[in-house]
C-alpha cells in the first residue's frame, strides 16, 4: 500500500478544542444577549416591540448554544461512546444536572418563542422567567467549565491509552 496517499486519522483533540471554542463563543453571545434582554425588559417594560425583537434573537441563539453543547460536546456521553474514565466519571456527576438546565432553557424558549401563537401577556412575567433561566445558565456554565477543563487537561498520552484500551 502506498503510504503517501494514506490520510492520517483526524485529530480528535483538535476537533474537541474546536468544538469547545465554538461552544464558548456561542455561550458568550447568549450571555451578552441575556444581559441586553434583561436590562431592556427592566428599564423599558412597555416597549414590547424591541423586547420581542431581543427575545426572538435571544431564543434562537439560546437553542443554538444548547444544541452545540449536546450535539458536539456531550454527544459521546449521551451515546455511551466516551471511553476516557476521567470524562465518564465527571459525566456521571454532572451530566444529569446539565440536562436539567437544558430542559429549563428549552421550556423558556417554548414559552417565549415569538414565531407562533405567542401570548404578549407573557412579557409581564419575563423578568421572573429570565431570573430563573439566569440561575440555570449560571449552574450550566459552572458544570460546563468543569467538563471543558477536564477535556482540555487530559494529557495526550492518557487520551491515547484510553483509546487503545477500549
Q: What is the CATH number of the domain that holds 119?
A: 1.20.120.1370
Give the mean model confidence (pLDDT) for residues 136-140.
98
Q: Does residue 162 lie in a domain region?
A: no
Range of the domain at 111: 13-153
- For residue 158, is it within any domain? no
Helical H segments across the chain, by residue range: 12-43, 48-68, 75-78, 85-112, 126-153, 156-165
In a domain, 159, yes or no: no
84 grid coordinates: 476516557
- Low-confidence winner among 27-31, 39-43, 134-138 (lowest mean pLDDT): 39-43
Q: How many domains does the chain have?
A: 1
Of all helices (H) and strands (E), which one includes residue 84?
A: none
d(CA 57, CA 93): 32
Is 163 within the bounds of a domain?
Answer: no
- pTM, full prediction: 0.81
Amino acid at each position: 500500500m502506498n503510504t503517501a496517499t494514506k490520510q492520517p486519522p483526524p485529530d480528535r483533540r483538535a476537533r474537541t478544542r474546536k468544538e469547545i471554542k465554538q461552544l464558548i463563543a456561542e455561550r458568550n453571545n447568549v450571555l451578552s444577549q441575556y444581559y441586553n434582554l434583561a436590562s431592556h425588559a427592566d428599564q423599558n417594560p412597555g416597549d414590547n416591540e424591541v423586547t420581542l425583537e431581543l427575545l426572538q434573537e435571544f431564543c434562537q441563539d439560546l437553542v443554538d448554544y444548547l444544541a452545540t453543547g449536546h450535539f458536539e460536546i456531550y454527544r459521546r456521553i449521551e451515546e455511551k461512546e466516551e471511553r476516557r474514565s476521567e470524562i465518564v466519571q465527571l459525566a456521571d456527576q454532572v451530566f444529569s444536572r446539565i440536562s436539567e438546565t437544558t430542559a429549563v432553557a428549552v421550556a423558556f424558549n417554548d414559552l417565549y418563542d415569538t414565531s407562533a401563537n405567542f401570548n404578549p401577556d407573557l412579557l409581564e412575567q419575563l423578568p421572573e422567567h429570565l431570573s430563573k433561566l439566569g440561575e440555570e445558565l449560571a449552574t450550566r456554565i459552572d458544570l460546563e467549565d468543569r467538563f471543558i477543563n477536564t477535556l482540555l487537561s487530559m494529557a495526550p498520552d492518557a487520551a491515547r491509552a484510553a483509546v487503545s484500551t477500549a
